[in-house]
Amino acid sequence: MASLANYRGGRWRIEFTVAPRDRRAIRLSKINRKTAEAIARHVEALLAAKLSGQPLPRDTAAWLGGIGQKLRSKLAAVGLIEAVPVAPALGKLVADYIERRKADLQASTLSIFDQVRRLLVRYFGESRPINTITPADAADWERWLVTQGRSRNGKGGLSLATVRKRVRLAKTIFQDAVEREVLMRNPFAKLKGSTPPSQRREFVPAEAIHRAMDAAPDAEWRLILALARWGGLRIPSELLALTWDCVDWERQRLRIPSPKTARAGKRFRVIPLFPEIQPHLEAVWERAEPGVPWIITRYRDTNVNLRTQFLRILAKAGVQPWPQLFQSLRKTRATELVRQFPRHVATAWLGHTETVAERHYWQVTDEDYARALMPGVAQKAAQQGAAEGGLEGKRAEAPIPEAVGMKPDAATKGIVYKLSVGAIGLEPMTPSVSSWCSSQLS
């Protein structure tokens, strides 16, 4: 049986006997009597389990999983539990995790993990043992990101969405340490890592992009703007992945490689060659160098900042920039498409789910309010919604057959184009050019 003794003004000592003439003691820090008695009870349970070879009581096992490293070390020193292995330093833990993930993560994702590493090291220190980071420390780090995480001089914090992403990745790193049994618990486990709904939504009218095209320096930049605004491409990842064999000129379709969704098995999606895109694509084709597979060639260098150049183009065109320059174009196109086509079609063409679109993309615009005031519009919208609801569950998958999309003079470029398109779900009918243009929202 363990006994509790008070010594040195409020400090406590728990004494117990393991065997005859083998009496051991655990010295506690200055705590109240109630807490000391609770620890003594768990020490008794640990001793009884050790001597009898029986499993620990459930409440003692739960208590042991929640105590700090200091008390755990004291219990290990008197032989009540296994010795605690030396925990790795924070900097080494995160660096090792990133190194292991290089084989299965894209360079852009690894770059974000490295940003998380720098933020953790800036706050906790390179050599901080990971087992000394508590849930309270993790919560303090999250608050620090909000107020001071933007720069080294401590001025300015990160946005809520960015903070959530950084927390989610930190949680992933520490959970990996738990699963490898180098850490007992994840101090970031209770922090929120889900991305909040985006509040920064800007509907970019077509007129703004037409003015930007007039100020663009060349045909490639005009194509970049068309693909971002009317193709809804992710810039730069999907843009720079485009090659000429992605173009099916005959069927007027464009295959979009998607590095972001490739790990989920969705390596690409297929969109119509919208009339706002086709003339700019043909203009770039006419200037393409023989034997060069990439559609965008002049702006492939990693040192090229498309956002900075876009701002210069907008300034030259006299157009006021909007938040999230390229992302807002994708959100705008998502909103347009869901007005004109069924939801499953609009989301398939943009490469995201309806849940993601509702949470982050689709917008209510001034035109929606104007249309609502037109006679008969509300009744027609209600009828259309009911009709669409009746079709739920009746959508059959229709695979896209293999097709060879070849521009008549493709041979002069010295490239053979064979487009093999796998099944991606329902392939909707593409309206005629005239009907699409008549319903286009500016």
Buried b (16+ CB within 10 A) or exposed e, 292-324: eeebbeebeeeeeebeeebeebbeebebeebee
DSSP 374: S
What does DSSP say about strands 253-257 and 268-272: parallel, antiparallel, or unpaired?
A: antiparallel
What DSSP element (H or E) covers 97? Answer: helix 90-101
291: left (phi over 0), alpha (psi -120 to 50) or beta: left
Dig out the tokens for 386 from the structure: 């009911």
The stretch 181-202 carries a mean pLDDT of: 78
Dihedral angle sign, alpha carbons of residues 40, 46, 50, 53: positive
Residue 369 or residue 29, greater confidence:
29
Dig out the tokens for 301 from the structure: 């260098």
Cα–Cα distance measured from residue 234 to residue 223, given in angstroms and rounded to the nearest whole number: 14
Residue 187 or residue 375, greater confidence:
187
Q: Are 219 and 287 in contact (CB under 8 A)?
A: yes
- For residue 198, give every residue at least 6 positions away whose Cβ sits within 8 Å of its Cβ, in sequence order, or none: 161, 331, 359, 360
pLDDT tens-place string over residues 239-272? 999 999 999 999 999 999 988 777 767 888 999 9
- For residue 375, give every residue at least 6 positions away whose Cβ sits within 8 Å of its Cβ, in sequence order, or none: none
Could you give the count of Cα atoms lying within 13 Å of 362 in the half-sphere of its Cβ?
Answer: 16
Average pLDDT score over the chain: 82
Cα–Cα distance measured from residue 145 to residue 166, given in angstroms and rounded to the nearest whole number: 9
Residue 70 or residue 274, greater confidence:
274
CB-neighbour burial class of residue 284 (10 A; exposed 0-12, middle 13-18, buried 19+): buried
pLDDT score recorded for residue 321: 93
pTM above 0.85, yes or no: no
Backbone angles phi, psi at 360, to 5 degrees: -130, -15
pLDDT tens-place string over residues 90-108? 999 999 999 999 988 888 8
The stretch 366-392 carries a mean pLDDT of: 62
Measured in whole angstroms, the distance separating CA 197 from the mean position of its chain's CA atoms is 13
- Domains parsed from the chain with CATH numbers: 3-77 (no CATH), 90-179 (1.10.150), 206-377+395-438 (1.10.443.10)
Backbone angles phi, psi at 183, to 5 degrees: -145, 140
Residue 241 or residue 397, greater confidence:
241
CB-neighbour burial class of residue 214 (10 A; exposed 0-12, middle 13-18, buried 19+): exposed
pLDDT tens-place string over residues 312-367? 999 999 999 998 899 899 999 999 899 889 989 999 898 877 777 777 777 777 77
Buried b (16+ CB within 10 A) or exposed e, 95-125: bebbeeeeeeeeeebeeebeebbebbbebbe
Q: Are 182 and 88 in contact (CB under 8 A)?
A: yes
Q: Are 241 and 259 in contact (CB under 8 A)?
A: yes
Least confident of 22-36, 65-79, 145-159, 172-186: 145-159
Residue 264 or residue 162, greater confidence:
162
- pLDDT bin (cut points 50, 70, 90) of residue 419 is very low
Q: Which amino acid is at 269?
A: R
Number of neighbours of residue 382 by Cβ within 10 angstroms: 10
For the chain, the distance separating the N- and C-terminal CA atoms, rounded to the nearest angstrom, is: 82
